[in-house]
A and B are shown apart, each in its own frame.
Chain A
Amino acid sequence: MTATLTQDVPIERSTGYWAGVWSRLRRDPVSLACMAVLAVIVGACVLAPWLTSHDPAVGSVILRLKPVGTPGHILGTDELGRDMLTRLLYGGRTSLVMGAVPVVLALLIGGSLGMVAGFVGGRVNTAIMRSVDVVFAFPSILLAVAIAGAMGAGIVNALLALTIVLIPPLVRVTEAATTQVRRLDYVEAARASGAGAFTILRVHVVGNVLGPVLVYAASQLSVAIIMAAGLSFIGLGAKPPTPEWGLMLNTLRGAIYSQPMLAALPGVFIFAVSLSFNLLSDGLRQAMELG
């Protein structure tokens, strides 16, 4: 008995919360596949100038609407004879930035507002949450179209419109998570032992709120990509000749009958990115054991 007790039992070192999340995420084949798809698409878009020798803005009149598999133009050419692969890669840069930037901005602004509302409570909470409620009175896509439509076409206007639309849900998610954490015993203990509000926020609240908020933000990336390309699709957002997936879908509509594969191609990328972010959000939720 005593012999076994004195034996060296290998004690596993605690690896921390995020390492645990990562190791669970790594064992989920769906999440891995999504990360791979996203890495390939994002990587290819970033490396576009090195992957293709064509100019995304220059076409050739005699090479209009060539089908997928044309020598020299693997994915064919568009209605102005520009190389499709090149335009899809450069277009991805625009589309991904237009989807990701509003989510990051909304995460920073909405996350801070939500934490303040949840942590301070009282009148501050009421003021912030009631203002946010007003935006919820609009379906998000309608408000985005309204704002971008009033300000006029342009990538910056679309970014602004999407950011405004994405802030309120992030405020709500962060506020709910913060309110929950604030009532926990260890936060009370930290307060009792003299920790200042900022220290409590930084040490205890951010760490605990980050999980659910990141899961939510990942799913918002999917929504944002669809809405950003959608705005360009209806003439808000990117303007020709800027390559952008939604805008390409629109300008290729004339080719639906002659080259249906070409006409549908840009949407495949929007779908792949949006689906990957959604599945990754689900995987992350499970890996964080948020239920």
Chain B
Amino acid sequence: MIAYLLKRLAAAVPVALAVSLICFLLVQLAPGDPLSVVLPSDATQEQIDATKARYGLDRPLVVQYALWLGNVLQGDLGTSIATGRPVGAEIANALGYSLSLAALAAGMAVVLGVGLGMVAGYSAGGWLDKLASAIAISGVSVPHYWLGIVLVVVFSAELNWLPAMGAANGDPGLTDRLRHMILPAIALAAMPMGIITRSVRALVAETLGREFVSALVARGLGQGAVFVHVAKNVAPTALAVLGVQIGYLMAGSILVETVFAWPGTGSLLNQAILQRDLPLLQGTILVLAMIFVGLNLIVDIVQPLFDPRISRT
């Protein structure tokens, strides 16, 4: 088990490095000269060279990457062009909002998705299966930003039950904060809920068709005991799906946060895009991608707890 853990950790390092390299190169994609912001248009060649040297832009790209990576590892993600504040501080501020929203949405998606998927898998072919599958494919197909708008129209504009915007400023009570989170969380949860339902349904239906289940039933095991066996067989794959989906959910929040003016990393990205604030864009993407890498690592580590065979390969 410890060897397996070390192997997984070691495998995550090159992935994390590759992710950081892509985030570094991202800025190179941007059109225009990065120096045009700081230099006057009639700058002499000496001035240009001096500025390049000051920002380290005269060095080879590899050296620039190494320097940048060194700063990142020390927690320095650069300075936002728009606000002049450290990018790291901006992200730290927003990350809590995004994580809490993602946690609520992930909870909804997992509970509903696993529940519906189990029901559908157990009643494969029946009307319950058809209903659950219809809900699932609608969830997969719905543009979540539009679902957010529809939710605002129905529950905020028409019924006036829930707030449409923001995160309740100042120091709101837990209830008020939760009331602001419900609609964006539903919008965020729809797609992962659909995908989890479809995966769990397929896994359960397939597992139920396998011989060992018939053998368990033949031996006289009750419904509940058989279910435990089915769940154990479904869990490792279902976990992998969950990990990926929660990561997607965090990334998808850029659109939903825009709809609800939720002050998380999505709004930060949106702000970075509108103001062409490349350091902010780069830093936020890097942090979100690293969270995704971390989630996948957690899945890899948790999986053998359900299926010890995984750690032996």
Contact = CB atoms under 8 A, between A and B. Distances in A.
Q: Interface residue tally of chain B, by bracket?
A: 35 or more
Contacts of B272: 149
B248 interface: yes
Interface stretch (B72-80, B91-99, B106-114, B286-294): B286-294
Nearest to B154: A260
Interface in B124-146: 137-138, 140-146
A58 interface: no
A271 B269 CA distance: 25
A150, A263, A279, A282: residue with the most chain B Cβ atoms closer than 10 Å: A150
Nearest to A282: B137
A269 B248 CA distance: 23
Contacts of B276: 152
A172 B137 CA distance: 23
Contact of B248 (A139, A270, A278): A139
Interface in A128-161: 133-134, 137-142, 145-147, 149-152
B252 interface: yes
B288 A142 contact: yes
B310 interface: no
Nearest to A274: B141
B143 A278 contact: no
Given A138-B292, A150-B281, A253 B149 contact: yes
Interface in B1-52: 15, 18-19, 22-23, 26-27, 29-31
B273 interface: yes
B67 interface: no
Given A230-B255, A233-B145, A146 B285 contact: yes
A56 B96 CA distance: 42
Interface string A93-135: 0000000000000000000000000000000000000000110
Nearest to A233: B145
B30 A275 contact: no
B290 to A, nearest CB: 9
Given A249-B145, A263-B153, A141 B254 contact: yes
A274 B143 contact: yes
Interface string B218-249: 00000000000000000000000000000110
B146 A249 contact: yes
Contacts of B157: 256-257, 260
Contact of B273 (A138, A234, A256, A279): A234
Contacts of B258: 233-234
Contacts of B29: 147, 150-151
B251 A139 contact: yes
Given A138-B292, A140-B251, A150-B278, 13 more contacts: A137-B289, A137-B296, A142-B289, A146-B26, A146-B285, A149-B273, A151-B29, A222-B141, A230-B145, A271-B143, A274-B143, A278-B137, A279-B137
14 contacts: A139-B248, A140-B248, A141-B248, A145-B251, A146-B285, A150-B282, A226-B143, A249-B145, A260-B157, A263-B149, A267-B149, A267-B150, A275-B137, A277-B141
Interface of A: 133-134, 137-142, 145-147, 149-152, 222, 226, 229-230, 233-236, 246, 249, 253, 256-257, 260, 263-264, 266-267, 270-271, 274-275, 277-279, 282
